Structure 1
Amino acid sequence: MTALAALDDVIELEVETDPGDVLHYNLKNLCSALDITDPTRVAVDTDGLRRALITIYPSNPLAVVRAATRQDLTMDRWGRITIGYHHNGKPCKKRLFDPITGSAQRFLLFGTTGAGKSRAVQQDLIAEKINGICSFLCDLKEGQSVPEAKTQVALYGDSQEMAILLLIAAVNVAHARMKRYSRMGRNSFVLGEDPLLHVTLDEVNRLLEKGAPYRAIATRLIKELGRTGRSVGVGIRLAAQASHLEELGGSDTLRAMMKEGEVVLLRWSSSIMKQLVADGLLPTGEQLLPIPKNLAKKVLRSQFDAAWEDDLDEGAPGTQGMAYHLSSDNPTSQMRHLRVGSIAPTRGLDPEILALYGDEPPTELGEADGEAAGDVWAYRHDPDMLRALCEAFREEFLLSQQGGKSGGGVDLDELDDDGPAPARPTTISDRIVAAMREAEGPVGAEEILDLVNADGGKEVKLGPVRNQLKPLADKGRIARVGHGLYAPAH
C-alpha cells in the first residue's frame, strides 16, 4: 500500500506491485482480507500494469441514480453523451459520433433478462432523436422491448423479415453514399449535411442464433454495414442477451468489427467472463465485480432462528442498469445508467420516456438516401404495405435460397458469407487473397489468419499462412506495405 485517504466514510487505498511484476487480484480474497461481507461496497480500478485503487464505500454508491435529462443526452463537441455515472461519481460517456475522424460508430450491448437492456436501448434512441440522427429500429421481441420508440424513429419493424429489409435499406444507403461521396472527392462523413443513420436491432440474438431462418443473410448484411458504413455515416447497434459467438451469427469477423465500437456489458451470466478475455474485450488478468440481481445483504441465518423470516429484506434495491463500459477509459469501473422511465411499471406507454423523446418529429433521410433505401422507406408510414413487403420477401427468400439475390436490391454474392457458397476459394493462397478484402487497413499474419478462418472453410494454422504471404506479395496478388504488414492489392 502506497497511500490511504478517507472522506465521509469512504476509504481509498492505493496499492502497487514491485517493478517487473503485473498486478493480479482475486475479488473474494480481497474482500475476505478486508473483512467485508458485501462485495458491492468494494471497487477496484487498475492501470492494467502495477497500480490499483481500492475504494471501500459504506454502502453501494450506485444503489440510487437520478433520472436522465435531455441535456445529458445531447452530444458534446466530441460527439459524446452522458449515459450514467461510475461508482466514484465520474460521468460515463458514450460516443455517438467521432467528429475528428468523421466516423459513424458501432454499438454492442449485452445483458441478461431483467438487467436493464431495454431501458439502455431507449436511452440511445432518445439521444439519437435529440441529436438529429436518423434511426432505423427493429424490436425483435415483437415490439414489446421498446414500445415507446415505435413512433419516435424514422423506420420501425418488429419481425425478422422487417429486420432484413431494414438492413438491406441501410446497406443500399451506404453504397449510394459511397458512390456519391466519391464523385465529390470526399473520403469521410461530414456531420450536418446528410444525417447520421443508425440501425438498431434489439434482441438480435433471435435473428442471429443457430436455426434462425435469416441468420446467414443477416450476418452478411451486418458485416457489410460494419465494414463500409463508418466512413459514410451509417452506424449499427446490436443489443443481445449474451456475448457468445453463436449469438452473433457465428462470425468472428463480425465480432472483431463490433468490439472496436462502444461495448456495454450489463448483468451477465457466469460463463461470459472467459469469453470476454478471449475476445479481447477485457484485458488479461482483469476482473469484473459480478453484478447481483439486487443489493440485498447476504447474512448467514441459523435454521433455529425463528424470527429470520421477519428480517428478510424484500425491498432491496435492484441492479437494473448497472454495467461496465468496456470500450471506455475505465473498462473495469462499474457504472450505472441514468434512470430512463418510471420506476414502477405502467399499464401503457411510459409517459416519462415519451417526455424524454419530445414532441418533435424524428429525423428522416434526405431525398437521395430515401431513393436508395427503396420501397421499405417509401412505404414506411403504411403498415399494410410493409407487411406485404415482408411477406413478399419471405416467399422470395424461400424460393431463392440457392440463388444469391436478397430481394431488396443487394446482391448477396457481392458480400462476404460465413457459410458454404458457390465458387468459394479452396487453396490457402486464394483464401488469403479473398479474405484480405475484409482488411480495413494494413494487417499482420495473425490478423490475416483470423480473416481466413472466418471464411467458413477448413481451419488453417499460422505457419501455412505465413509461408504464402511473401510469394503472394511477389506475384502482386497482395501488397506488402511495411515490415510484416500486408494490404489488398490495388
Structure 2
Amino acid sequence: MGQLYEIEIATPYGGLGRYDHMALCAALRVDDPARVVVEQDGMSRALVTVYPSNPLAATPAPTDHDLTMDRKGRIVIGRYHNGRPVHLRLYDILTGSAQRIALFGTTGAGKSRSLQLILAALKRNGAVTWLADLKSGQSVPEAKGQVDWHATTQEEAFHMLRAAVAVAEERMRRYASLGRTAFLKDDPDPLLFVWIDEANRLLEKGAPYRDEATALVKELGRTGRSVGVGAGLAAQASHLEEMGGSDTLRGMLKEGEVILLRWSSGMMRQLVSDGLLPTGEQLQPIPKYLGVRTLRSRLDADADDDRPGTQGMAYHLTGEHPTAMLRFSRVGSIAPTPGLDPEIVELYGDGPVPALEATSVDLAGEQYAVRGTGVILPLYDDESGDGTSAPAPSGAASPGRSLRLPDRIIAALRNGPLDTYGVLEAVKTDGGKAVKPGSVRNALGDLKADGRITSDGGMHTLAD
C-alpha cells in the first residue's frame, strides 16, 4: 500500500458499539491486523487509521527529557501509534496528590522492563521508592541499590506496607497541625512511592497474608494521596479478584493510572465491569508476535517463522486516549545479558538514591532500619522478647492478636478517637508492660484488619 489512510466514522448516538476487528481488516484488505487502529470517543464517533506497516514495530529509548517530570507532574513512558507521547502522571499538581498506579500484563508482555522505566524516573525526580520484588528479586534485579528499600519476600513487603501507612499517618498529623490540606511538590518531605511487583503473589486467594495486606493497600490508597505517599502495583493480568478482590482496586484505581499490557479475556471483562474501560468500547487485542503468520507446507523445512514480539505494547486505560494502542520506550538490551543489564543500570542514572525524611525514619519501623541486611523481623510482636513469633496465615489467629497489647489499645480507644501517637502514649501510661512504637503500629494494623477499629484521617476509632 505504502500510504497512510484515516477514515472517520460517525453513527447515531450510541450506535457504534462493538465491532469485529478481523472483519474490518478483511473489508479493508489488510492482512496484518496491527496495521489497522480504531479509536472510539465513547459515544458515536471512531477514527480508523490504516498504516502501511506496524507503527509500533520499534520505539526509541527514553531520553532524559522523557524521564523528567513536567509542570503537570508527568513523565513520558512511550509513544502512541500516531507518534504522540504517552504521559504517566506521578504527581497531580492541581490537587497535590501522589498517584496510584497499576501495571498489568501477562507473562512476557514486558511488564518488568516497563516498571524499570517508571522506577528510574522516580529516582531521577527525587522520589523515595520502596520496592517489593516478589519474584525473589529476579523481576527487576537492576533496581537493587537504586531504591531506598528493596524487598524480595512477602513478609518484608508486609513490613513495607505497614511502614508506609505509618509514614502517611504521621505526615497527615503533621500537616494537619500546619493547616495544610495537600502535599506540595517542593515540600521538604520527598514524594514517596511504594511499589509491589508481582503483587498477585501477595494478594491472590490463598496467599498467606492476603487479608492483612489488602487492608494495608486500601488504607495506603485512602490516606497516602494527600500527603505525598503513592502506591503502585505490578501484576499478572488475570483477574482483579486475584488482587485482593475487585473492591480493593476499584476505588483505588479509577482515579489513578492504569496501564494494560497484553492481557487475558477474564481481565478485560473485569475492567469493563469495574468501569475502568467505558461500556461499549473495546481494545484491539495485542498479539504475542508482530506480523502475519504465514502458512507453510510441511515440506518447506527451511521456513523461518521467527517474528518479533510485542513486549511493551499496551493501553493507558485512564489516560487521554484509552483505546489508542501505545508502546513503552525501549528499555534495556535487546538480547538477554548474563548479569545486570548495563543499559538498565545506566537508565537509573548515577545520582544518589533519595532517602526518607529524617522525621519519618523512626516511624518506618525496625524492619526499615535493617533493610538490605537480609534480616526479616517477625511480623507480630509476641512481647516475650525472644523474637520467635511468626505471622499466621490469613484467617488464622496470629500470635499478636491474642496478647494483651490489642486489648490495651481497645481500652485506650474507649475514651475516644486517638491518632497513632496518642495510642502509643496511652499504652505507655496504662501501667502495663513497656512496648515499642513498632509493636503498637503492628497491633493497630491487626485490629483494623480484624474490623475491631477503623482509621480515618489518621485517627483510630472503635468499630461499631
TM-score normalized with structure 1 length: 0.79
How many Å separate the matches in 1 of 2:123 and 2:10? 45
Distance in 2 between residues matched to 1:347 and 1:76, nearest whole Å: 36
| Deviation sequence 1:320-376 (CA, Å, 0-9, x none) | 000000010110100000011111100001111111111112111111111221212
Cα distance change of structure 1 residues 127 and 184 upon mapping to structure 2, 3 Å threshold: same
- Residues 1:206 and 2:181 aligned together: no
Aligned equivalent of 2:376: 387
**How many pairs align?**
414
Is 1:356 equivalent to 2:347 in the alignment?
Answer: yes
1:397 Cα deviation (Å)? 2.1
Note if contact 1:69-1:356 (Cα within 8 Å) is conserved in structure 2: no
- Aligned partner letter, 1:164: F
1:30-429 equivalences in 2 (<5 Å)? 30-192=24-186, 193-301=188-296, 306-307=299-300, 309-314=301-306, 316-381=307-372, 383-384=373-374, 386-388=375-377, 395-398=389-392, 399-400=398-399, 402-403=401-402, 407=439, 409-410=441-442, 411-412=444-445, 415=448, 417=449, 421=450
Q: Distance in 2 between matches of 1:138 and 1:221?
A: 14
Query: SS at 1:311's partner residue?
Result: coil
Report if aligned partners of 1:165, 1:408 keep a CA contact under 8 Å in 2. Answer: no
CA contact (8 A) 1:168 1:408 kept: no
Q: What SS does structure 2 have at the residue aligned with 1:313? A: coil
How many angstroms apart in 2 are the aligned matches of 1:33 and 1:112?
A: 31
Aligned to 1:443: none
Between the aligned partners of 2:220 and 2:380, the Cα distance in structure 1 is 24
Report deviation, 1:243: 4.7
Q: Distance in 2 between matches of 1:63 and 1:297?
A: 13
Distance 1:254 1:282, change over 3 A: closer
Aligned match of 2:418: none
**Residue 412 of structure 1, CA deviation:** 2.3
Give 1:30 deviation, angstroms: 1.1
Q: Residues 438, 44 of structure 1: CA spacing in aligned structure 2 closer, same or farther, 3 A cutoff? A: farther
Aligned partners of 1:174 and 1:225 also within 8 Å = yes
Where does the alignment leave 5 or more consecutive residues of structure 1 unmatched? Answer: 1-5, 425-433, 440-454, 456-476, 478-490
Distance 1:88 1:102, change over 3 A: same
Which residue identity is paired with 1:26?
A: D
Q: Is the 8 A contact 2:378 2:390 kept in 1?
A: no
Q: Which amino acid aligns with 2:250?
A: R
Say if 1:394 and 1:248 are closer, same or farther in 2 by CA, change over 3 A: farther
Structure 1 contact 40–60 (Cα < 8 Å) conserved: yes
Q: Quick one: distance in 2 between partners of 1:375 and 1:174?
A: 17
In structure 2, relative to structure 1, the CA distance for the partners of 1:251 and 1:38 (3 Å cut) is closer
User: Structure 2: where are the runs of 5+ without partners?
Assistant: 382-386, 393-397, 407-437, 458-462
Q: Deviations over 1:229-255 (max 9, x none)?
A: 000000100001025132211251433
Change (3 A) 1:194 1:423: closer
CA–CA distance in structure 1, aligned partners of residues 341 and 232 of structure 2: 23
Q: Secondary structure at the match of 1:217?
A: helix
Contact 2:101 2:233 in 1 (8 A): yes
Paired with 1:376 and 1:284, the residues of 2 have a C-alpha distance of 44
* Further displaced range: 117-126 or 289-298: 289-298
Give the Cα separation in 1 of the matches to 2:447 and 2:378.
23
C-alpha contact (below 8 Å) 1:219/1:251 kept by paired residues: no
CA distance in 1, matches of 2:150, 2:293: 44
TM-score, with structure 2 as normaliser:
0.84
The range that moved more, 263-272 or 323-332, is 263-272
What is the CA deviation profile of residues 111-139 of structure 1, one whole-angstrom value per residue up to 9, with x for unaligned ones? Answer: 00010000011111000000000000000
What is the RMSD of the two structures over their aligned residues, measured on CA atoms?
2.5
Closer, same or farther: CA 33–438 of 1 in aligned 2, 3 Å:
farther
Q: Are residues 20 and 99 of structure 1, via their aligned partners in 2, closer, same or farther at CA, if it must alter by over 3 Å?
A: closer
Identity of aligned residues (%): 54
Contact kept in structure 2, 1:296 and 1:313, CA below 8 Å: no
- CA spacing shift, 1:186–1:243, aligned 2, 3 Å: farther
Runs (4+) of structure 1 exceeding 6 A deviation are: 390-394
